[in-house]
Structure 1
Amino acid sequence: MVKAGQITTNGADMQIIAGLGNPGTQYAGNRHNIGFMALDAIQRLPGFAPWSKKFKALISEGELGGEKVLLMKPQTFMNLSGEAVGEAMRFYKLGPGDIVAIYDELDLAPGRARIKTGGGHGGHNGVKSLDAHCGNEYRRLRLGIGHPGNKEQVHNHVLGDFAKSDKVWLEPLLDTLADDAGMLVKREDSQLMNKLALAVGAKPEAEKAEKPKSEKLASPKPAGKSHIHQARGGGKPNLPTSGPMAEMLKKMFGSKGE
């Protein structure tokens, strides 16, 4: 019976979580293998079976959040990852909506995580292979490894090991992902992203504080005098009392008291 809210196209009550990487001890510490590292962290949770070989992959069955889960680490090398995941998808009669792929992302800063359904492959060969064998509409949990800044350095960057200094964010990220993997299968994506962000020291953007109101309102400035009033000096004009001008003013306005 399919649980309420589970997106399963063919009635199978299971989800596949596929971590992408390359098999072999020489690749185990590579940035490109962060998907394998994430699966190893989840598989260490109580209730998961030991790794076994099937579907050209290492698999482990268990439960997360009350859902049956198949963990997969394809052993085909990165570029052929879709062969293994596609075979398991068809065997269990699942659809793309029942698959979560976890892999490295160059275009995210180290430790940052993003999840989405569908989208482009972004030049990632493992994702290209999944698209070809499983369709496009599966969920993708991308874990940032940062970009070296130069296109020519990308190959050595992704196939290079994490530095010791990366443990500061890598271990908390993987531990938190494992502890809260139930959110992944229950599609509580926003909550999971928040948990992962906090694990690596990122904090939500603080709301801008309002400017404090002044305890006292500024006293209004006295209204300035108009330039006409200022020109007049604000007092009575000094009128001439004698001479031709005085006589003219007397004729115009008359003498005070007359």
Structure 2
Amino acid sequence: MNGSAAALAELQALAALSTSDSTDILICPPSTLISRAKSVAGNVALGGQDCHASTSGAHTGDVAADMLKDAGASYVILGHSERREDHNERDEDVRSKAKTAWDAGLVTVICVGESLSEREADNTLDIIGGQLAGSIPDGATGENLVVAYEPIWAIGTGKVPTMSQIGEVHDFMRMRLERRFGEGVGRTVPLLYGGSVKPGNAEEIFAVSNVDGALVGGASLKASDFSAIITALDAA
């Protein structure tokens, strides 16, 4: 819930700074800005921050996947920890939304992650495994699915897991995806790390096994910060 029309200047600056052909760049603004963002986004893809599981209907305040597509989005984030916590979204809710999003032609960025208490109880991999199984529908491919690992306790706190902790989870997710969907699909689904990613730690994070990119929060609000993270990924 950040951004007004004035923020489009940062997106325009990001598009000018980020000319990489090797890195996919995605911004997910509030739905109110997607159509206007399209005119200044350049090579930056656009996505929604959530969508409803139904294609249409009397769901005041919600946004349908087809509406996001019509506004200019090609992606949608689903199951973000703030949606799971603030709106009590369950894995099955995320799964239903993902099916609808795929039908609309959107690529889904499905988020998974553990709380601090779950991490301290050594339940991280059990939680991640359950979320992957419950949130991702059958029919996933490397073209319609991105998975983002965002430890809840690291979001906006400045705390970052150790590189070995990030690597353990990402290796585990890769293994689970390969086991369920086959090596061809499992190896091509991009895996992102999210949680206090910033220019100062991006290079180290991108060097971790099976980290293909980042789900960036606060550092994405400034073109200079986000472009520095993109540069780090280009060099990884």
TM-score normalised to the size of structure 2?
Answer: 0.31
Higher helix content, 1 or 2:
2
| Bigger fraction of residues in strand | 1
- Which has the higher Rg, Structure 1 or Structure 2? 1
Structure with higher RCO (Cα < 8 A, 6+ apart): 1
Give the TM-score normalised by structure 1. 0.29
